[in-house]
Structure 1
Amino acid sequence: MQQPLRTPPHRVSNATRRAVNAAVLAAFAVMIAPLAAHATTDTSQDSGKVVKLKEIKKKYQKLLIGEKNIASAMSVIGPDVIKHSSGAESVYSLLKQTPSVNEYQQNIGPGTPVLTVRGVRMSQLAQTLDGIPMTSLLSGGQGAFLNYNVGTLVSTGQIEGIHVYPGVAPPDRGGFATVGGTVDYTTITPTSKFYANLFSKIGSFSTDTYGADVNSGNIPGTGGLKIYARLSQTQTDGYIQNTPARYTDFLFSAVKPYDYGLSKVTATVIYNRARGYLISAPNAVAELDKYGIFYNYPLSEASTLQKNQYLTAILGDSTYINSHLVIGAKAFYIQKHSYLAGYLQPSYILPSYPYQVNFNNPYSGYGPLAPTAGGPGVIPHTYDPVAVFGSYHAGEAAQINKGGSHTIGIAPKINIFLPHNDITIGGLIAQETAGPGGGSYFYGSLNMPEVYGYNSYGDPADKAQRTVYSGYVSDKINLIDNHLHIEPGVTITGVSSSNYVAANLYGSPPNAYTLSNYDKEILPYLGLSYDLPDDLIAYASYGKGARFAPIADYILGPSGSTTLAPGPETVNAYEAGIRYVGKHLYLNFDGYWQNMHGMFSFYINYLTGLAEYANVGEEQMKGLEFSGKYEIDPTWTVSGHLSYTSANYMNSFSANVTPFEGQYGYVFAGDPLASIPNWLAGARLTYHHHNFRASLSESYTGPQVTTYDLPPTEANPLLQDATTPNPGVRLDPYFLTNLQASYKVPVHEDGLSSLTVSLNVDNLLDNRYYLHYYQAYKEYAFAGVGAPYAEAYPGMPRFIEVGLSGRFS
């Protein structure tokens, strides 16, 4: 047994730590002032007091990884699964190994991901990186259609763990702005021993990955400072024709412990950039049948290019005060920059061409843009498409959009350990700003001038800003000889938003204006768990979640001065389950019911003639989930999951009908949500003996409701050409089999300690299947034309990848 150590008599003598502690406590003063009047904590220290370091570390570590008796459903994806994933996977595709998660993407790696959890779409989920929000504050979620679809804030090579909390998680794990789940990614941190790796992978579709990482170990003379750095690059032609992409990822992480390892300062810097072509509209099934399932138009005829950059910096401190109190904070900065270039050959824009090839040309979105010298509130564009290119559709065949945002914030946190309570007090103060300085330009070709006042259709002076003030208090009360655990908590969030619109295309309203709004939500949470005999835990919870409206949904009211802004959409989530946590066996079974209110809806107010956003929709999700893992012996492990989801609209309203939000239309009460499989399942068998590791996994994605467009001849103008769920036509289910294997060869020569050879085969049986399917009309001049036809995205065929890495230690 480790011997207890005595607390040094001057534990708070370090000036730097005192300054950090003072700053953190000051940041909390406003949030916890009401609580301070009712509770006090004795933080005095006695030089003779015994500190049991091992117990404190163990208790604090539970806060980081989650206890077995947490009152909510939770899934963990560990470092082994992440480390051995293929280069075709992304941080999003890994999530499909957990219950009730459906995901697909267009490309190798992080290319246009589509994600749902219990039927809740990606834009409605909270995602956090080491506890700080990685989704857009301005959008209240992942972001708008076709924004930042290539690359991502964090890559698979930069993380060592993922926690998935479907529904509403306890406040200290919930993240910002969610009505259906939280996904928390944990970055790789340095360890105490030195090592370095050189790695390379070669895969199908001309996919190559290479890079290096180095872990310093404890640097002598620095008091335990450790540094880790990783740089990698991946390039691919894509499994769909004419969708090449390139990703470059860099991670720097440092840890400086103090107070005998109980406290630490951390620093993380991530810089990722990506360049890739994507398909903004699925191709016609008739063409896929004719030319092959992976057919795509040549880039000279149709293209959508995105170039994105992501910079994230996080500076954190966690300070052990005594056996009852740990305080900390994380300051962070996130900067994103986007570039989109779209082109469509003019002959495909004409109504005579039967299919919608893509949407990234100004004519499809705006129609004829006649030259204008500008005026009060009007974007000037003297460029004449007809004079230069002969027609409006030919002169509006290409567009370039530039934009970006930066976010700065701090997330303080206090953990209080009492004999029967573990109290967490935390918060978030953050601000995201987009613009000024972006720009939108149109022309007849991608080789275009970019001159505001000549060929611009967006104003670079536009600026949007949102500030978030959020605080939470949660408690875990342990009663009845530590068998009953009660987790009450509450989150209070205020959001202040403003959107400066310098000018617009049509000059209505005629002057520049600012849209501003303030929203506040109080979100309670209550969880109960009870430790039954034989390592069983029964649990139940209720939580309320809220997602604030995207700032792009704010409009100017008919008076010309009032901001019309939707309120937050909310969810009331209930779940109950039973969990078994043994030495070699883990099992979890739960059921849930989630009722979502005030869902965002876009409609035309015919009394005012204005397009408005409002909270009129209601959705309901309910289902059952099972997951388990069994260590058969030290070499064999089997795991799996099975889930059933029923997701329906409870009323009729205008809605974004598909998870990717590319199809807008109308839904009817009782309709099932499109693109949400009722059944999802997965199983994995892993063998690990000495230096050899192999796993075989199988996943099943059940049938999904597709969509279709109502005819343009509908009597109700609201329903003309509107996309709506089509329960009578379902996407076929599909199975996927993946194989992973690796063997480490010891070397011990010239600093090289081992070589590891790896093999990954995704979709081993080379199944052919569609990820997304619907029936639509071609859009021309804001209306459907021609006859309805089917469009689809194909799933990835067999992907084979071999890798070689060398470790130096």
Structure 2
Amino acid sequence: MPSSHKNFCIKGMRTSNRMPQASKLLLAATLFAIYPALSSAAFASTANDTTVTKSDNTKKVVKLKEIKKKYERLLVGERNIASAMSVIGPTQIKHASSAESIYSLLKQTPSVNEYQQNVGPGTPVLTVRGVRMSQLAQTLDGIPMTSLLYGGQGNKRTNNVGTLVSNGQISGIHVYPGVAPPDHGGFATVGGTVSYTTKTPPKKGYIDIFSKIGSFSTDNYGFGASSGEIPGTDGLRVYTRLSQTQTDGYIQNTPARYTDFLFTAIKPYDYDLSKVTGTVIYNTSHGYLLDMPNAVAQLDKYGIFYNYPVSESSTLEMDKYLTAILGDSTYINSHLVIGATAFFIHKDSVFSGYLDPNMTTPEYPYQGNLSDAIVRYGPLPYTPASPGVIPHTYDPVAVFGSYHAGEAALIDYSGSQTIGIAPKINIFLPHNDITIGGLIAQETSGPGNNNSYYYGSLNMPEIYGYNSLSDPNDKSQRTVYSSYVSDKINIINNKLNIEPGITLTGVSTRNYVAANLYGSPPNAYILSNYDKEILPYLGLSYDVTHKFIAYASYGKGARFAPVVDYVLGPTGSTTLAPGAETVNAYEAGLRYVGKHLYLNFDGYWQNMHGLFSFYTNYTTGYSLYSNIGEEQMKGLEFSGKYELNPEWTVSGHVSYTDAQYMNSFAAADTPFDFQYGYVFAGDPLPDVPNWLAGLHIGYQKHNFHAALIESYTGPQVTTYDLPQSESNPVLQDATVPNPGVRMDPYFLTNFQASYKVPIHKDHLSSVTVSLNIDNLLDNHYYQHYYKAYKQYDDDGVDSDNELVALPGMPRFIELGLSGRFS
């Protein structure tokens, strides 16, 4: 039997070459839905036959051509999906350098802008079609990666160093901009879903030992071990991987260390038609970062990568991520597959900031840090315990001589636990593929793992009632109930695909606040709220010819308000909670899927309503949150891939995005950082390039791989701060868009090469040598740039804005060596 054929034992199923075409399609669709290895085979081969073996060893051949029709060799995802989508495949992930992260890889897809401030996963900033990271859904094997409590990425000071899952732990990424079909979307998105898939244990047993050394004292080392099919277990396979990366960072005084561990197992049953999977991921990180970009005047004087010594200014974050996933997919018959995924996620974050007291005075010319107590809160006199007040009897003047010296350091602790289950049912009918699924999950933060302390040094006592800034008894909890139904109706000889769907989501939120800081009642109180959204979706795709597919879709998405936006009403008896911000997304496109050529062109229009807005009265400390903002994104996207021959491939993308505010409101102006202020109707969104483009030229022959990757990031609108002399108090010291000043565009060129040397001596089967050069031409550029006042006690204190900027990574060279033992 040819090696390209695969054997499947199907209990009680009779097959023949004269099987009706509808049954063939049902069998193909069913097998693909429940057995991911088939998708890999479809990507790797264009016309494989699949042998179906009955339990009596009678072999019948069924041509699973439907798999080829749906999932092409070019790894472009679903041929007839009615929405735009992009795929990052295992080859792109495997050959990425240690400087890249799961987020930087996304820049190889249309309309994605991303930057980070360190080698590896250091404080990423991401937008998709201008929609910020906190408004995007992210999933890992179908479960939500993002915080349920915050409805997105989370707070700036938590879980921003390291990642829940790393490059070495994933096999693929799917990007669905806009609103994806319900069975592909995730929880809480108003602009896109990024879906990650963990590695699956291979069928072959081996041990890989790897090491890389690179610029900025970067080194990466570790091992990966696959058991293959363990004898006597009826197909059980396990895989484990452990790696550590450490770097000094390309910006001075920003060293970081990341440790990643993965264990995954798969146990097929029902003659390989069903499976149980289990995954455990434990990642830790320890990294210094820039709390805010440095003054351009300092960079001009000392060099573009200058940063203050940690003895003068430091921001350190230590994060831990534990994820456990248990899944089952059970084949019932050719019409029905059922499954469910249970999961547990624990996140723990420690954030600390220190600023030399000499640099904290209003007279100091440049902003050094935003993360010490004196800059964030101003003088904090001791406050003896009384109703409605969090006591801190620490006296910074008595202990350190001044408020500046006594409030030079700040430590924030935060953590949460998420538990949930996501059931799923696939029903295959002659003209319908129906998916029914849902999510029941709960995330809890506190009590005991959320608190803040301040002192004159980082070596501080941490005593509630002495130097604490919050009550450790506070507790936040959110439970999500979500269900969806999606149908793919195939008519007119499968040329027309109609994909209606609907998602029903409700969230129940409960905040226990141990002390009322702003009035009556003086004691503990509870903020509770239930919110729900109905989210329809409709997609159409039509095979204009065998290779041309036209498609269009409409979808509604929603993101629920972060729990920190829930406040007590003025009467002390009402919970004031903003509703969900929503998006109505429309898109239409034309896709060409050939044997060696893939092209996609689409246009989109996304209108976002009810965006979160807030106003804080700094006299009383009381904040009011509401849904009054509106934004609009529209644009065009083009992507393609062409196989010139078996060795050479060329792929690329170009996109245009027009993102603007439709009304004026108090807003968070930028995708990240402390830039909250006011935006005006008609202004473009800051930090959203109009133009993005990329080109990838790849070469693969035998054991040699090489690729040249080019990217272009267009000009971006920046921001600046209005003076405190503004007559309107809402606009005093407010950060606003600055359409007249745009950050310069930049090109980046990356190079990859690797060669596998067969050895076959003793147990060593091969050695692979690799070379990565990121930013090959050593282009010096800024990836974030704006004008701001120096802050003191949350107020601007300069007489003029100062330019601040975050530089991009210079040339990064990395050499790798790995050996495979089998």
Same fold by TM-score greater than 0.5: yes
- Distance across 2 between alignment mates of 1:53 and 1:320: 18
Residue 736 of structure 1 contacts residue 763 of structure 1 at CA under 8 Å; is this kept in 2?
Answer: yes
**Which amino acid in structure 2 is aligned with residue 695 of structure 1?**
A
SS in 2 for 1:526: strand
- Distance across 1 between alignment mates of 2:710 and 2:487: 39
Q: Does the C-alpha gap of structure 1 residues 91 and 54 become closer, same or farther in structure 2, counting only changes over 3 Å?
A: farther
Which residue matches 1:710?
A: 722
SS in 2 for 1:634: coil
Residue 292 of structure 2 contacts residue 673 of structure 2 at CA under 8 Å; is this kept in 1?
Answer: no
SS in 1 for 2:161: coil
- Distance across 2 between alignment mates of 1:316 and 1:354: 56
- Distance across 1 between alignment mates of 2:6 and 2:174: 31
Q: Does 185-194 or 640-649 show the bigger shift?
A: 185-194
Q: Does the C-alpha gap of structure 1 residues 457 and 558 become closer, same or farther in structure 2, counting only changes over 3 Å?
A: same
Is residue 580 of structure 1 aligned with residue 601 of structure 2?
no
Q: Does the C-alpha gap of structure 1 residues 715 and 530 become closer, same or farther in structure 2, counting only changes over 3 Å?
A: same
Which residue matches 1:615?
A: 627
Which residue matches 1:26?
A: none
**Which amino acid in structure 2 is aligned with residue 788 of structure 1?**
N
Which residue matches 2:811?
A: 798
Aligned-pair CA distance for 1:781: 2.6
Q: Which one of 445, 470, 473 corresponds to residue 461 of structure 1?
A: 473
- Distance across 1 between alignment mates of 2:552 and 2:733: 44
SS in 1 for 2:789: strand
Map 1:249-398; keep pairs closer than 5 Å: 249-398=260-409
- Distance across 2 between alignment mates of 1:96 and 1:379: 45
Q: Does the C-alpha gap of structure 1 residues 377 and 608 become closer, same or farther in structure 2, counting only changes over 3 Å?
A: closer
State TM-score, norm by structure 2.
0.92
Residue 6 of structure 1 contacts residue 50 of structure 1 at CA under 8 Å; is this kept in 2?
Answer: no
Aligned-pair CA distance for 1:605: 7.4
Aligned-pair CA distance for 1:52: 8.3
Residue 69 of structure 2 contacts residue 79 of structure 2 at CA under 8 Å; is this kept in 1?
Answer: no
**Which amino acid in structure 2 is aligned with residue 550 of structure 1?**
P
SS in 2 for 1:364: helix
Residue 126 of structure 1 contacts residue 177 of structure 1 at CA under 8 Å; is this kept in 2?
Answer: yes
Residue 5 of structure 1 contacts residue 53 of structure 1 at CA under 8 Å; is this kept in 2?
Answer: no
Residue 458 of structure 1 contacts residue 504 of structure 1 at CA under 8 Å; is this kept in 2?
Answer: no
- Distance across 1 between alignment mates of 2:269 and 2:68: 18
Which residue matches 1:38?
A: none
Q: Does the C-alpha gap of structure 1 residues 753 and 4 become closer, same or farther in structure 2, counting only changes over 3 Å?
A: closer
Which residue matches 1:503?
A: 515
- Distance across 1 between alignment mates of 2:287 and 2:498: 49
Map 1:164-175; keep pairs closer than 5 Å: 164-175=175-186
Aligned-pair CA distance for 1:610: 3.9
SS in 2 for 1:713: coil
CA RMSD of aligned residues (A): 2.3
Which residue matches 2:11?
A: 7
Using the aligned pairs only, state the percent identity: 75
SS in 1 for 2:405: helix
**Which amino acid in structure 2 is aligned with residue 146 of structure 1?**
R
Which residue matches 2:418?
A: 407
Q: Which one of 476, 493, 496 corresponds to residue 488 of structure 2?
A: 476
**Which amino acid in structure 2 is aligned with residue 803 of structure 1?**
G
SS in 1 for 2:790: strand
Q: Does 603-612 or 144-153 show the bigger shift?
A: 603-612
- Distance across 2 between alignment mates of 1:314 and 1:446: 37
- Distance across 2 between alignment mates of 1:269 and 1:60: 34
Q: Does the C-alpha gap of structure 1 residues 4 and 612 become closer, same or farther in structure 2, counting only changes over 3 Å?
A: closer
- Distance across 1 between alignment mates of 2:820 and 2:6: 33
Which residue matches 1:12?
A: none
Q: Does the C-alpha gap of structure 1 residues 61 and 486 become closer, same or farther in structure 2, counting only changes over 3 Å?
A: closer
Q: Which one of 764, 768, 774 corresponds to residue 756 of structure 1?
A: 768
SS in 2 for 1:614: strand
Residue 674 of structure 1 contacts residue 707 of structure 1 at CA under 8 Å; is this kept in 2?
Answer: yes
Which residue matches 1:598?
A: 610
Q: For residues 525-563 of structure 1, what are the alpha-carbon distances to aligned partners after superposition, in whole Å with 9 as ceiling and x for unaligned?
A: 000000111401000000000000000010000010101
Aligned-pair CA distance for 1:390: 1.2
List runs of 5+ in structure 1 lacking aligned partners. Answer: 10-45
SS in 1 for 2:733: coil
SS in 1 for 2:430: coil
Which residue matches 2:29?
A: none
Q: Does 735-744 or 599-608 show the bigger shift?
A: 599-608
Map 1:22-33; keep pairs closer than 5 Å: none
Q: Does 412-421 or 371-380 show the bigger shift?
A: 371-380
Q: Which one of 135, 148, 152 corresponds to residue 124 of structure 1?
A: 135
Aligned-pair CA distance for 1:8: 3.8
- Distance across 1 between alignment mates of 2:783 and 2:355: 24
- Distance across 2 between alignment mates of 1:69 and 1:183: 19
Q: Does 260-269 or 352-361 show the bigger shift?
A: 352-361
Which residue matches 1:807?
A: 820
Q: Which one of 628, 652, 661 corresponds to residue 640 of structure 2?
A: 628
Is residue 788 of structure 1 aligned with residue 801 of structure 2?
yes
**Which amino acid in structure 2 is aligned with residue 515 of structure 1?**
L
Is residue 687 of structure 1 aligned with residue 691 of structure 2?
no
Map 1:648-663; keep pairs closer than 5 Å: 648-663=660-675
Is residue 570 of structure 1 aligned with residue 585 of structure 2?
no
- Distance across 1 between alignment mates of 2:810 and 2:172: 27
Is residue 426 of structure 1 aligned with residue 422 of structure 2?
no
**Which amino acid in structure 2 is aligned with residue 240 of structure 1?**
I
Aligned-pair CA distance for 1:259: 1.0
**Which amino acid in structure 2 is aligned with residue 580 of structure 1?**
Y
Aligned-pair CA distance for 1:711: 1.1
Residue 71 of structure 2 contacts residue 79 of structure 2 at CA under 8 Å; is this kept in 1?
Answer: no
- Distance across 2 between alignment mates of 1:783 and 1:606: 10
Aligned length: 774
Aligned-pair CA distance for 1:4: 8.5
Aligned-pair CA distance for 1:2: 7.6
State TM-score, norm by structure 1.
0.93
Q: Which one of 662, 676, 696 corresponds to residue 708 of structure 2?
A: 696
**Which amino acid in structure 2 is aligned with residue 789 of structure 1?**
E
**Which amino acid in structure 1 is aligned with residue 569 of structure 2?**
G
Aligned-pair CA distance for 1:782: 3.1
